[in-house]
């Protein structure tokens, strides 16, 4: 019997140690997990350059697609088996949960080092996505928790050749856009294409105009529950979609269109406008290298507040707070975001650099996207977040407006009803604790 228990004890210890060794491989390399298929060759080249410079090996490990990557990161976090450097995909609340669980290093002291500081090299809009300010609703200690690799802006693009053929100038105002829609519809050409079956893109477009019509403060006050969605300014935002549909500026079937279809239509010159992110430069280049187009802000409705566009850090890396190679990981990211490496990434991957000091080295059409970085905002950079069910109702309501199923007033009432229900549920949860 004693031998039996000794045997069990031996097996138990063996499994623990061999399991740990299997789940947490020991390596002198800096291990990086990422999901960016398009950047894999560039990352491997930069890893070689860094090893030549420092003697330190960097191992980029690609896990794609992004949903599988995210699942791998979540599983690794549960087992405290994250690599030295990784990224967190998802909403700000997901990012916050990793920080509060102790998985992510606070970069703030590192960002303040140097003269000029590391922080000063970045576009503020890029850092904002990875930053938590004092008093944030996620209850995260104020600080910067991620290093941006690139920035993205989501804007409208237009086909220069088609506009010339139709005799239309680049629309400067929303009225100009509606007039262009009438001409485009009469010519039997597709107008604005976008992947609006993915409702977050509708949310993005609507938020652009909400900021322009009522300003950031009122938008955030709505999220906090201080302004109802039945407010006249929100009715104005919703009515824009009715006006655009009636003018003929929307492409047929836009509410069921996936973004890949929208990109194909625009790249093959079958649509005049598209609403897309700066990542489209790579896509259009692959589909039609001779495409003549440019980026523009969505045409403004109001002069009272500036137009806003979604954007910020397109991709970011975080350092594992429990890594034994934290300092080495930080130094690598400092090098990776320096001017030469950022310029190389921009040139080879057609992504806007996060380092503002090399924006002049940005190739071709990307300059058209880069010039509007100052208008960038993003929900992940705000201090508050809307209930997911409210956002879903708002975006699906816009789809219903476009296809004529509901009026702007009906959608506003529906959304406000769900908002009040979610606020009450949150209050009741608080009282039950």
Of the pLDDT bands very low, low, confident and very high (cuts 50, 70, 90), residue 413 is very high
Task: Establish if 29 belongs to a structural domain.
Answer: no
Task: Establish if 93 belongs to a structural domain.
Answer: no
178-217 pLDDT per residue, tens: 999 999 999 999 999 999 998 999 999 999 999 999 999 9
Say what the pLDDT of residue 25 is. 45
Task: Establish if 75 belongs to a structural domain.
Answer: no
CA angle 157, 159, 164 (to 5 degrees): 135
Domain containing residue 158: CATH number? 3.40.190.10
Number of domains in the chain: 1
Say what the pLDDT of residue 433 is. 54
Task: Establish if 391 belongs to a structural domain.
Answer: yes
**pLDDT > 70: what percent of the chain?**
92
277-325 pLDDT per residue, tens: 988 988 898 899 999 999 999 999 999 999 999 988 789 999 999 999 9
Say what the pLDDT of residue 10 is. 39
Query: Would the pLDDT of 18 be above 70?
Result: no
Task: Establish if 332 belongs to a structural domain.
Answer: no
Closest among 104, 100, 101 to 88, alpha carbons compared: 104
Task: Establish if 191 belongs to a structural domain.
Answer: yes
User: Where do the DSSP E strands lie in 190-308?
Assistant: 190-193, 271-277, 293-296
Of the pLDDT bands very low, low, confident and very high (cuts 50, 70, 90), residue 374 is confident
3-state secondary structure of 186: helix
Tell me the CA distances in angstroms from 150 to 279, 308, 354, one per residue in order. 11, 19, 4
Say what the pLDDT of residue 282 is. 85
Of the pLDDT bands very low, low, confident and very high (cuts 50, 70, 90), residue 370 is confident
Task: Establish if 5 belongs to a structural domain.
Answer: no
Task: Establish if 285 belongs to a structural domain.
Answer: yes
140-157 pLDDT per residue, tens: 999 999 999 998 899 999
Closest among 164, 113, 101 to 138, alpha carbons compared: 101
Residue range(s) defining the domain that contains residue 285: 153-311+385-429
């Amino acid at each position: 019997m004693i031998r039996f228990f000794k045997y069990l004890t031996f097996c138990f210890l063996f499994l623990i140690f061999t399991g740990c060794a299997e789940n947490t491989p020991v390596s002198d390399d800096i291990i990086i997990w990422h999901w960016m298929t398009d950047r894999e060759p560039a990352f491997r080249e930069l890893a070689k350059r860094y090893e030549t410079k420092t003697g330190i090996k960097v191992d980029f490990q690609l896990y794609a697609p992004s949903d599988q990557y995210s699942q791998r990161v979540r599983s690794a976090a549960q087992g405290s088996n994250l690599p030295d450097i990784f990224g967190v995909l998802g909403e700000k609340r997901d990012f916050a949960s990793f920080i509060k669980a102790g998985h992510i290093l606070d970069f703030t002291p590192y960002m303040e080092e140097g003269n000029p500081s590391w922080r000063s090299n970045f576009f503020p809009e890029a850092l904002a996505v990875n930053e938590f300010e004092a008093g944030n609703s996620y209850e995260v200690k104020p600080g910067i928790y991620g290093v941006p690799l690139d920035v993205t802006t989501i804007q409208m693009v237009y086909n220069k050749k088609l506009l010339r053929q139709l005799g239309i100038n680049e629309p400067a105002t929303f009225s100009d856009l509606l007039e262009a829609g009438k001409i485009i519809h009469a010519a039997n050409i597709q107008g604005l294409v976008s992947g609006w079956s993915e409702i977050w893109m509708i949310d993005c477009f609507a938020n652009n105009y909400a900021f322009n019509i009522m300003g950031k403060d009122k938008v955030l006050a709505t999220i906090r529950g201080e302004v109802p969605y039945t407010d006249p300014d929100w009715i104005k935002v919703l009515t824009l979609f009715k006006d655009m549909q009636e003018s003929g500026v929307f492409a047929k079937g836009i509410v069921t269109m996936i973004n890949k279809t929208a990109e194909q239509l625009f790249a093959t010159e079958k649509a005049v406008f598209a609403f897309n992110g700066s990542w489209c430069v790579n896509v259009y280049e692959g589909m039609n290298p001779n495409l003549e187009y440019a980026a523009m802000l969505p045409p403004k409705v109001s002069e009272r507040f500036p137009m806003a566009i979604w954007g910020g850090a397109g991709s970011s890396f975080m350092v594992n707070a429990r890594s034994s190679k934290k300092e080495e990981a930080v130094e690598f990211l400092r090098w990776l975001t320096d001017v030469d490496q950022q310029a190389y990434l921009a040139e080879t991957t057609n992504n806007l650099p996060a380092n503002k000091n090399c924006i002049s080295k940005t190739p071709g059409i990307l300059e058209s996207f880069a010039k509007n970085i100052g208008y960038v905002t993003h929900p992940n950079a705000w201090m508050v977040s809307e209930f997911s069910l409210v956002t879903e109702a708002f975006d699906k309501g816009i789809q219903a407006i476009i296809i004529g199923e509901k009026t702007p007033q009906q959608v506003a009432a529906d959304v406000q009803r769900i908002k009040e229900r979610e606020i009450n549920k949150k209050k009741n949860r608080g009282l039950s604790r």
